[in-house]
């Protein structure tokens, strides 16, 4: 029987990955008329007690690629499938989607347990459950075992790093969106500090953690794309840089980019080695998966909580994975040097009537102040709880610079 969540694990679930909202279900077997997202049962021993969903586009040929998707906290499989934009490109370029779902019984807020050693070690827990999903897809959907990829947001992004580290023999490449480096967090307690303010290690130290995940492995290591918003206060941008250090070291390339480019939505792209690692920095973006709703070739997704209207990260990742069947990649505008845009200071002059955010964000936005480690609402001086990114409050504005708790 799967272990039940402790109080501390529930707290992390509520906080540590704070990403991703939505809801749903998913589909698998070959459809008679239209493909749909469907739950798959009996895919293995499933020691992590996860749910598996799959999507197989109509006309999916044998030996097709597959992408594993990992949602963030408070999200589920169908919501991430519906809003991230992956279905569009799966239909267009014919590849399968495997969507893992974390039940609330494992984690109160449905976060993948990226901080638990028993779930982040090769051959154990949630990591093994996800690997068994891939095995099932290879055996039953005729998936090409050499063309399997993984992508996730926040807690799912951290879990993507787990899968790339523990199963380099399974995944050819992956995408880490607003995640943290592999094995930065090894307990619920230090998961908080890894998320914010982040941990600074040498590239070699980070790389050793990955190499230790599969001791003795000498085969190829996956290529990695990293996405991070410069205004992310939930999982701070330092994590994007440290993830870059980890995976460039694992791939054996320099931490100095071989090229830099300017992309839409104030996004910068740094490429390392021979396209071994990519680091996308989305200027001014907070915590979420970058999407760009619309019907153009480079547009995808639906904007909402933790799906942020900026640039279609799914399109870029699909090209990075080579899922377009050898089509032409978009040509970015090269720049001589990369000058990251400083994180803007959030100081709205006309705040919304009602805002739900972390206490840290409320203080940063001028809706509250901090004293003695606690946050207090401006005007009413009501105590909101600890001043950090893990305590969330709803504040209502009742007069200029006067806020009260509750909406």
Point out the residues that are catalytic.
154
Lowest mean pLDDT among 16-20, 59-63, 188-192, 250-254: 16-20
Over residues 144-150, mean pLDDT: 98
User: Which is more confident, 393 or 91?
Assistant: 91
Neighbours of 38 (CB within 10 A): 16
> Mind listing the pLDDT tens digit for each residue in 328-353?
444 443 433 333 334 333 333 344 57
Structure tokens at 373: 């480690």
Closest CA to 306 of 159, 194, 154: 154
Question: Is the pLDDT reported for residue 177 higher than 60?
Answer: yes
Cα 78 from chain centroid (whole Å): 16
Q: Enter the pTM of the model.
A: 0.75
Tell me what pLDDT residue 372 has: 58
- Taking the alpha carbons at both ends of the chain, their separation in whole angstroms is 40
CA distances from 111 to 15, 31, 126, 328 (A): 9, 30, 11, 36
Question: Is the pLDDT reported for residue 393 higher than 70?
Answer: yes
User: Which is more confident, 137 or 339?
Assistant: 137
Over residues 140-166, mean pLDDT: 97
Over residues 287-313, mean pLDDT: 98
Question: What are residue 260's DSSP bridge partners?
Answer: 270
**Which band of pLDDT confidence, cut at 50, 70 and 90, is reported for residue 370?**
confident
Over residues 371-398, mean pLDDT: 71
């Amino acid at each position: 029987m799967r272990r039940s969540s402790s109080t501390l694990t529930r707290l992390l679930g509520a906080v540590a990955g704070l990403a991703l909202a939505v809801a749903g279900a998913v589909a698998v077997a070959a459809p008679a008329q239209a493909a749909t997202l469907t739950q798959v049962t009996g895919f293995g021993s499933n020691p992590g007690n996860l749910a598996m969903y799959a999507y197989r586009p109509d006309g999916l040929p044998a030996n097709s690629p597959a992408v594993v998707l990992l949602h963030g906290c408070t999200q589920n499989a169908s919501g991430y499938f519906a809003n991230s934009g992956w279905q569009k490109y799966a239909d267009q370029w014919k590849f399968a989607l495997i969507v893992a779902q974390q039940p609330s019984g494992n984690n109160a807020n449905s976060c993948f347990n990226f901080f638990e050693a028993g779930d982040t070690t090769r051959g154990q827990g949630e990591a093994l459950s996800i690997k068994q999903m891939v095995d099932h897809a290879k055996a039953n959907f005729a998936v090409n075992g050499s063309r399997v990829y993984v992508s996730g947001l926040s807690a799912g992004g951290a879990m993507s790093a787990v899968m790339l580290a523990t199963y380099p023999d399974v995944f050819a490449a992956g995408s880490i969106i607003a995640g943290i480096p592999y094995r930065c967090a090894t307990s619920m307690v230090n998961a908080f500090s890894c998320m914010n303010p982040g941990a600074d290690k040498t590239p070699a130290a980070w790389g050793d953690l990955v190499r230790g995940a599969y001791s003795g492995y000498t085969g190829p290591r996956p290529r990695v794309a990293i996405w991070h918003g410069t205004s992310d206060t939930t999982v701070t941008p330092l994590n994007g840089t440290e993830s870059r250090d980890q995976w460039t070291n694992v791939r054996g390339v320099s931490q100095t980019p071989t090229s830099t480019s300017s992309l839409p939505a104030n996004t910068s792209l740094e490429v390392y080695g021979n396209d071994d690692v990519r680091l996308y920095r989305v200027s001014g973006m907070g915590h979420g998966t970058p999407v760009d709703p619309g019907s153009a070739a480079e547009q995808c997704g639906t904007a909402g909580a933790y799906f942020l209207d900026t640039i279609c990260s799914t399109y870029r990742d699909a090209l990075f994975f080579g899922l377009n069947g050898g089509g032409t990649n978009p040509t970015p505008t090269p720049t001589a040097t990369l000058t990251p845009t400083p994180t803007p200071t959030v100081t709205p002059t006309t705040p919304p009537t009602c805002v739900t955010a972390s206490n840290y964000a409320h203080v940063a936005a001028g809706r509250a102040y901090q004293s003695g480690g606690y946050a207090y609402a401006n005007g009413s001086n009501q105590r909101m709880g600890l001043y950090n990114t893990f305590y969330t409050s709803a504040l209502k504005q009742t007069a200029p610079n006067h806020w009260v708790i509750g909406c």
